Each structure stands twice: as structure tokens, then as C-alpha cells.
Amino acid sequence: MCGILGQVVLSGQIQEDIFRKMLLSLSHRGPDHTGLKISENNRIALGHTRLSFLDLSEQGAQPMCDNNGEVWLTFNGEIYNYLELKKELSHSYSFQTETDSEVIIAAYKVWGIAFINKLKGMFAFGLYDSNIQKIFLVRDRFGIKPLYYYNSGAQLIFASELKAIMASGEVAKNINYSAFSDYFVYRYIPSPKTIWQNVNKIEPATYLEINTLSFEQKHIEYWKLHANNSLSDPILIEEINEIIKNAVKEHTRSDVPIGSFLSGGYDSSALVHYMKTLGQNPETFSIGFSNWEKSEDQFAELVAKHLSVNNTKVVADENSLQYLEIMPTVYDEPIADISIIPTFMVSKLAKTKVKAVLSGEGADEIFGGYTWQQDFMKKPNSTWFRSLFGEKIDTVSWYAEAMAMGKFDAKELKLMLHPRLHPHIEKDVFWFYRQHFLPKLSRLKSIQYLDIKCFMGELVLTKIDRASMANSLEVRVPFLDHTLFEKIFSLQESNYFKPEQTKFLLYENIKNILPKQILNRKKQGFVGPDKYYMNIDFYKKELENSALVKYEIINQAYINELLTETYNWKLWKIVVMEKWFKHWIDH
């Protein structure tokens, strides 16, 4: 995995010392090598920090160019079908390295930008074509890898993380208060917004085409997940087995060992099982919570023993909340998922033994494993329900409630925020959910699509990327094989969703492999006990001299009212924002 950086100026020249400073801020993403390319006219610079897995030699370093020096690339990610693509391209391009990076360059030279539809993997890259004076900024289908940019019309800066863009000194630290408000609604800041004015995220499955002479840009969505309702064939379970097995095989292509996170749930346990069937013996890593009967480390150890793999664990407790102090530098903008700290801790642990791990993100989304998906399916059919009771299920409102963890609607935001910020509150605070709600989909698929675009794409994958890369660890997610998603979305939901059995298609492929104690476990998210997060004395201390209050952003009376309660997740959101604000603004 790597960090990427690029800068284009319309007039003047690239300041190499400043660019190197920006690149240094991404060194945690790629400690193995730092590369820099500045064009002859000093208007364009590309940078790269490398965490190497394929072709560990200097030949694999980036930025990388084609044989003619016309196309330049800075690439973050892994292309899992690079060997197959390389074989297909070998008749048209003379390869000089064993990297997947060079395959991207060759594929662009042969097929043009449409080549991205042939890629399997996780990726974010900047590709400069000097022949047409254009830069393409590309992000993978699900948003596994991040990509941010600033385009003033006279200057373009893009990077893997916001901190590199802010290190340029070209972007004023002006908070985007619309995004600020969104954070409290969603627990994250939804794309394309960021916490800073005039800086944006590139959305998943999207690329930008930018003219380096005029800075005009085009947004192109290159992939959409389409739903059909075809009947399954009798070999569906085996077909899913082969897709997952092949994905794990592709995801473990590397010149260094690959480990795995292990929670003792279906997803991570299945991945370790598939690694074992492929002849691998991975190191596995788990996190537990002290004095908690549901702590996942006990289940992880059971699976590790059953599958004969080594497992190492770290145990969190109330003192682990001290990691909140560094979260603003890990994530760059506030994110209030309660597993931001545990994910950071288990990534830190894994880095002591390996450079990369597999993780089970994506399985719940596509196999229907989340509790809220199951709860929604227990609701009466909307057509029947409306005709009998005169009511209709508002899917977006229902989903917003399910996702909230301390619900903020427009009314609640106005109670919390200083009146001067009220104009920044979106008229429809659930705009992002509504944007990704497709009413033509079946009931389950409409929720799954929201999960893929909103929950997973914006919260889960952001969390896993930053927490791991802050520790120079790469996380690979085999369930996010787009062919798996396309296959299951093509089915009638009754073929893969069974109320009596969670994640039916995955279960059928592991039911004779894992211990009954694991197979019979109730679904449990990657969380810890509430007592770690609902200590009111902790919140009183952290918000005693609130910078958000001092700057007349949040009302003290609102905080005081929350502190009279014994259980309210709104406090967690406020403290995470408080930590971010003190680090980036009030320091």
C-alpha cells in the first residue's frame, strides 16, 4: 500500500521543498521508499511513498512511467488480476518490471482510460498523459482506497489523505460548516464533501478527467451495481465458494507474507479457512475487551486453535480511550464510529509481525448479515402494510434511525449549534441517504445498496484504511470482489437471504468447517462494551472547557443537558469533534 500525491500549477513553478514536506506527511502510508517526479517545465509534480509487496527492487518504485516517458503514474492499491492482464497485454507492451503498477500504465496505453473497467482490486491513482495534457484521478468501485483533491482553477493538488493537501499551505483552514453539520447526522462526512471548504473527496467508482492547461474537470461514474431478479442455479453455493476462494487466492499474491484479522465471526473465520485450503498458514490478530463476557478474542482463539493457526491478541480497556488524542491525525477529519480505537490497536499489533492482513469487510453488506437488514425484512411488506393500515414505510427515515447512534435531525442540530451556523444545515439532513436510495430495488437490496454506498463506502472503509495505514499496514478485503457483488445482486433475494440463517450463502460454505460454537454465535458488530463509552465523568472532563463552545459553534446549554443523562451517543460524536477541532483549529 502507498501514499500518492500530485500538484499542478497554471503559472509559476512547483516549490520542491514544500512538495517534499507534503510528501513527508504521507510517509506512514509507504515507509519503504519515497519517489518524486517534477516535469521539465516545473508545472507538474507527482509523489509517492511506497509500502512494497511486488517486485521489491528499485524497478518497482514510483512515480512510474511508460517506456517512452509520456505517461506517468502514482498508484495506491493492489490490482489482483494483474497477472492475467499482463499476459493479455504482453503482445502490445514491453514490460520492464514485475509490478501491478506497470500493468496499469500498459493497460492505459493499449485500451485508454476505459481500461479501469477491467481492473479487479482496490486502487486510487493519478495518471498523467503528457500527449493530451490531462490527469486522470481514479478511485476503486467501493472506495476502499481514498483520494482527495483541491482544484482552485489555477492549481490542482490531490493526495491520499487530507493532511498532505493542507501541508501545502495553499488551502485556508476554513471549516465547511455544511459538512460539519453532516458529521453529526452520519458519524462521518459524506462524499464529495470534506471538513474543509474547497477540498473534496472523489466518490467511489468515479474518476476525474482534468485538463492541466485549463483545469476544467469532468466527473465520470464508471461502474454501477445493477440488480436483477434471476433465479439461482442449483450450483449457486459452490459457485459462491469458488468466487470467494479465488478472491482470497488473488488477494494473497505477494512477495511477502500476508496475515489476517480474526474476530471469531463468520467473515474473518471463513477467510482464514480459505487461506488454509490454499496451503497458507497465516498469522492472525485479534482484539478483546477486558472484563466483558462478549469479548471477541475468546472466539478468535477458538477458531485459531480449530484451524491450527497462530493468533496474537491485544486487550482494550477504559484506558484505551487515550488513543482519542491521536485520532485527529490518524483520520484528518472527524469520524465517530466507536471502533476507530480498537481498529487502530489491532492494526498496530498486526504490524509487529506482517505488512498486510486480510479482513472481512463487505460480507455483511452482500450476504445480508447486518441486524438492521434483518429487522427491515421483518417489517410488513410495504404495499400490504399501506393498504391495511394506511401507512407506508419511509425507507430513508427508517435507515437514518437505524444508522444514527445518537440521532441528529434538523431540529436537534439547531438546538446544538450556534444560531449563526443554522443557515449551513442542509434542508434535508438525510440528503446523502436519499441520494443513494433506489426505490426500484427490492426491499432488501434497497437497504444493501444504502449500506454499500453509505455505511461501508464512507464509514467502514475510511476507518479501516486510516487505522491500518497509520501503522504502515495494508488491509485487503477479499469479499469486496466486484464479481461477487454483481453475482449476488443479480439474484432474487430469496436465493441468498434466509430469515432462519444469517448469511446463508456464506454459512453453507463453512458449516462443516467451523466449530458449532462459532456457527451458532449471534451477530456482533466490531464494538466494545458500553461501559467504555458511556462514562459520564469522562465526558464531563473532556468537555469542561470546550473549544467548540469557546468559538461559539456548539451551545454550552446543549452539552450541559446531555451530561445529565446516563446514556447518549451524541456525547461521543461531540467529543470526537472536540478532539479534531482542538488539534486542527484551536492549538
pLDDT over 90, % of the chain: 81
Are the beta carbons of 398 and 433 closer than 8 angstroms?
Answer: no
DSSP sequence for 298-361: HHHHHHHHHHT--EEEEEE-GGGGGGGGTHHHHHSS----TTHHHHHHHHHHHTTT-SEEE--T
Mean pLDDT, residues 215-225 taken together: 96
State the pLDDT at residue 393. 65
Active site residues: 2
State the pLDDT at residue 410. 97
Centroid of chain to Cα 582: 25
User: Using one digit for the tens of pLDDT, what is the confidence trace for 268-303?
Assistant: 999 999 999 999 999 999 999 888 777 888 999 999
Asked whether residue 318 carries a pLDDT value surpassing 90, the answer given is no
Residue 388: pLDDT band with limits 50, 70, 90: very low
Q: Domain 225-587 belongs to what topology?
A: Rossmann fold (3.40.50)
58 burial via Cβ count (<10 Å: 0-12, 13-18, 19+): exposed
Q: Residue 332's closest CA among 495, 526, 201, 476?
A: 201
Residue 517: pLDDT band with limits 50, 70, 90: confident
Are the beta carbons of 569 and 408 closer than 8 angstroms?
Answer: no
Which sequence spans correspond to the domains of the chain? Answer: 2-221, 225-587
Mean pLDDT, residues 434-460 taken together: 96
Residue 527: pLDDT band with limits 50, 70, 90: low
Question: Model-level pTM?
Answer: 0.94
> Kindly report the CA angle at 115 between 111 and 117, in degrees rounded to 5?
145
Q: Strands 64-65 and 44-50, how do they pair?
A: unpaired
Long-range contacts of residues 288-296, Cβ cutoff 8 Å, at least 24 apart: 288/313, 288/314, 288/315, 288/316, 289/315, 289/316, 289/317, 289/528, 289/529, 289/532, 290/315, 290/316, 290/317, 291/317, 291/529, 292/528, 292/529, 294/524, 294/529, 296/263, 296/264, 296/265, 296/524, 296/526
pLDDT over 70, % of the chain: 95
State the pLDDT at residue 29. 95
Average pLDDT score over the chain: 92
State the pLDDT at residue 332. 97
Asked whether residue 548 carries a pLDDT value surpassing 90, the answer given is yes
β-sheet bridge partners, residue 129:
71, 134
Architecture of domain 2-221: 4-Layer Sandwich (3.60)
- As a whole number of angstroms, the distance between CA 306 and CA 513 comes to 9
Higher pLDDT, 480 or 387: 480
User: Using one digit for the tens of pLDDT, what is the confidence trace for 35-77?
Assistant: 999 999 999 999 999 876 655 556 678 899 999 999 999 999 9
Mean pLDDT, residues 105-119 taken together: 97
Residue 363 identity = A
Q: Taking each helix axis from N to C terminus, what angle separates 461-469 and 340-350, rounded to the nearest 10 degrees?
A: 40
State the pLDDT at residue 379. 77
Centroid of chain to Cα 319: 27
Are the beta carbons of 288 and 296 closer than 8 angstroms?
Answer: yes
